[in-house]
Structure formats: C-alpha cells, structure tokens
Amino acid sequence: MKSQRIFAAIFFVALSSIVAHSQEGDSKIVMTIQDAVQTALENNISLKRSQIQLDATERTKKNSWNSVSPSLSVGGGFSKNNDNFAENYSAYIQASIGITLSTNLYSDIKDAALRYEAGEISYETARRTIEMNVRSAFYGLLYQKENISLQEQNLETTRALYQTNQRKYSRGAISEIDVLSSQVNYERNIPLLQNAQITHDKNLALFKQMLGLEQDAQIALSGNLDEIINSLKPNFNSKGEIENIHSFIENSDAKNLELAALEKNLEIAQNSLLASRFSAYGPTISAGWSYQPTWAKTPLTESSGPNDGGCLSLSVSIPLDGLFPWSQRGLAISSAKDNIKDLELQIQDKKTSVQVETQSAIQSIEQMSATLQTLQASERLAERTYQMTQEAYGRGTRNYTELLSAQNSLENARLSLKQQAYNIATQILNLENNLGIPFGTLLNAEAENSGE
C-alpha cells in the first residue's frame, strides 16, 4: 500500500509537471509585466464598473446648468352647456414659459465640476490599485515558479540519492538506516512539490480573473526574479543613489491619491458652504409669461374675437431665516464649516502619514537590499559547500547526513534569495503607490520588459 501511495504521488507530480510544461510550450499568450498590466486595464471588470460611474458624473457635469432651463407648457380646452348645447360654448388655447434664477446656480455648476474631478481621482485610484495588484501577483507567480523549479530539482536530487543508496546498500557499502533516511527525505519532497504546484495554479487562476481572461486561456509569464535583483543594484545599494531617490521624490509633481481625494473633498466642502450661504441669504428671481386666447358664446353674447387671458409675471424672494443661527439653514452653514475644519485636519494628518510611510519604506528597502547582498553571498557559499560535500560523499569521506545538511542549506539559501527579491519588489510597489508615481519608476526598465 505504501508503494502504491508513493507511485500515485510520483505520477501526480509528473503529470502536473508535464501539463504545466505542455501548456507553456503551446501558449499563445506570452506576457511581460507590462503586457499583463495593459490587459488588466482593458478587461478588468471592476475597472469597467468604475468607468461607468465616472461617465455618470461626467454626464451630470455637462448638464449641471439645467436648473436655468425654462419650463414650457401648452394646452387647450373646449366646453358646452348641456341645457343649451347649440348656444353655449367656450374654448381656449394656452401657452406659457417660465424661468427661475437663484444664486445657487453658480454653486450647483461648480459642485458638479468638482464631483467629476473627484470621480477622476477615484477612477485613477481604482486603476492604480488594479495595476499594483497585477504587478504584485506577477512577481508572486514568478516566485512560485522559481519555487516549483527548486522543488523539482530537490525531488530529482533526493530521488537520485535514494537510488544511489539502494545500490550502495546492495553492495554492502552503507547501512540500511542510510537507505531509509534517503527514502524518507525523498518522500518528504513529493508533497512539497505538489503543494507548490497547487498554490501556483490557484494564484494563476486568480491572476487570469484579474486580467479579465477566460480560465482556459494559456499564458506564460516572461521574466524572472533575478532580473529584479539586478535592477536593484543602481537604485538602492549606494548612498548616492538613495540621495537621488530622495531628490526625485521632492521634485516630483506626483501626489498620493488619497491625499488628492481629501483635497478635492475639501474643495467640495468649501463649495457646499457657499451653497448653504446662498440658500440662506441669496435671492431667487422668477419670471413667467403666458398667452391664453379664449373664445366664448352665451345666450346673451355673440362670439367675438378671442380674449387674451395670459399675463407676464415677475417675482423676487429673499429668505430671512438664515439670519437666525438656530434655523435649519443657519445650522446647515455651521455644519458645512465643521466639515471643512475636519477635512483640513485629515489633510494635515495624511501629509504627515505620507512622509512617514515614504521614509519608512525607503529605509526598509535599503535594509532589505543590504540583506539581499548577504543572501547572495550565502547562496554562493552554500552552493560551493554542497558541491564540495557531494564530491566528498562520492569519495566516501562524508556521510549521507552531512550531504543532506549541505543540500538543505543550499535549498534554503536559494529560496530565501528569491523570497527576498519578491519582498523587495512588493515593497517598492507600495512605495510607488504611496508617492503616486508611475509604477516601475524605481525599478530598472529591463526588469519589466526583458524575457526569460
């Protein structure tokens, strides 16, 4: 039964690997990170919904003047008396036009324009969120791909060692415990590879959904984490370059979108205060004109030309209840002022947060870049140690436990290096998003566009 389980596990791993390589080989879509971003911006469902909302606010902006549109009406009527049907009747035609002007017209038009600008910021925020998520997922898939490759190598290495130990044991060169230990290590690596493959497939499905692609679409990602590691060298590994980044940040016109949204909300609140004051103190002018010719005939009068019952009307009204602070309009003004003060405090706090987060992110990237160099040195040392231990094991001067320890050290060093590269990439994405600068600004362009 145990042999059957091992065979089934090996078959699953082999089949998964064959399918994955077959899909990549037959893929019709080879994507760089820029290709993935562009595809998501064109197809992502949530971004399309945000576009609909932006279109609605734009439509409101374009028609915000409609409060001054005149009201028009036409009508008519005819009547006869039942008792004297032939003698009595009356008829009329009516047409009227009216218009109302208030001081709120200016604030209404400005409010629509400001809310459209706020909608543009909201849409850009959604767009950048999608782009950041796509880039992060892209880097994550590259890391998982590297992990699968390492797990496949580990599985093959442990399989080869297990088979070698079986042959050595059959010759009496080693003890049975060494064979069993190599078998356990080999079997331990099988579920690790399975889990790595399952995690990759799950995240790849989510990645396709984010890009708006069908799940049966075959895609292959072009790039690897080594390119990200190389791209960090000119940016974060020297004091001079760090100072250049600080200078770039200070001179950049880009702005944190959350801060930009707050500032736009402040403009809307200030305009709302103006609208409240207009409602409380501003006059309203109404004008109307109607034309109503009427024809009538009764037993005492003959029908004659129409009599015009229309008129011209003008009116002006000025509210006075705004003079009382306890009135509804007076309270609306006070509430609008409170809202402005609150937004000003939020903006002040957000500016501080952006500065703190930016400085913290740069320091974190500096530290992670330094750690990355240490991990690179550790990987080289672990690789050399493993090679020497493997040679010594072949000569019989090192035992299997020592070889296994050297191999595990190399595996951990390689995986730690890839993990650190992924962590740095995502930290840079967060920094770029916090600053509002285009994604990829702080990474070498070669890391974004070159293939495997």
Digit-coded pLDDT (tens) for 350-369:
999 988 988 888 888 888 88
Give the residue from 341, 217, 212 showing the smallest Cα distance to 269.
341
HSE on the CB side for 338, CA within 13 Å?
6
CA pair distance 259, 261, nearest whole angstrom: 5
Query: Which pLDDT score, from 0 to 100, does residue 28 have?
Result: 63
Is the pLDDT at 441 greater than 70, yes or no?
Answer: yes
Query: Which pLDDT score, from 0 to 100, does residue 210 have?
Result: 92
CA pair distance 260, 435, nearest whole angstrom: 11
pLDDT single digits (tens) 171-216: 888 888 888 988 898 899 899 999 999 999 999 999 999 999 998 9
CA pair distance 183, 166, nearest whole angstrom: 9
**Number of Cβ atoms within 10 Å of the Cβ of 417:** 22
pLDDT single digits (tens) 301-332: 565 667 777 777 887 877 777 677 777 778 88
> How confident is residue 445, by pLDDT bands cut at 50, 70 and 90?
very low
Q: Considering the chain, what percentage of its residues have pLDDT values greater than 70? A: 80
Stated pTM of the model: 0.74
CA pair distance 186, 196, nearest whole angstrom: 16
Is the pLDDT at 230 greater than 90, yes or no?
Answer: no
Query: Which pLDDT score, from 0 to 100, does residue 58 have?
Result: 83
Q: Two tokens at 16?
A: 């998964």
What is the distance of C-alpha 169 from the center of its chain?
Answer: 58
Average pLDDT over residues 141-161: 86
Amino acid identity of residue 226, one-letter, is D
> How confident is residue 2, by pLDDT bands cut at 50, 70 and 90?
very low
> How confident is residue 264, by pLDDT bands cut at 50, 70 and 90?
very high
Backbone angles phi, psi at 77, to 5 degrees: -160, 160
Query: Which pLDDT score, from 0 to 100, does residue 444 have?
Result: 53
Give the residue from 381, 366, 452 showing the smallest Cα distance to 416.
381
Average pLDDT over residues 6-25: 47
Average pLDDT over residues 126-146: 92
Q: What is the CA radius of gyration of the chain?
A: 38
What is the distance of C-alpha 375 from the center of its chain?
Answer: 32
Q: Considering the chain, what percentage of its residues have pLDDT values greater than 90? A: 23
Is the pLDDT at 18 greater than 80, yes or no?
Answer: no
List, in sequence order, every residue forming a beta bridge with 286; answer none if it has no partner.
100, 315
Average pLDDT over residues 28-43: 88
CA pair distance 242, 358, nearest whole angstrom: 13
Q: Two tokens at 95?
A: 């047409």
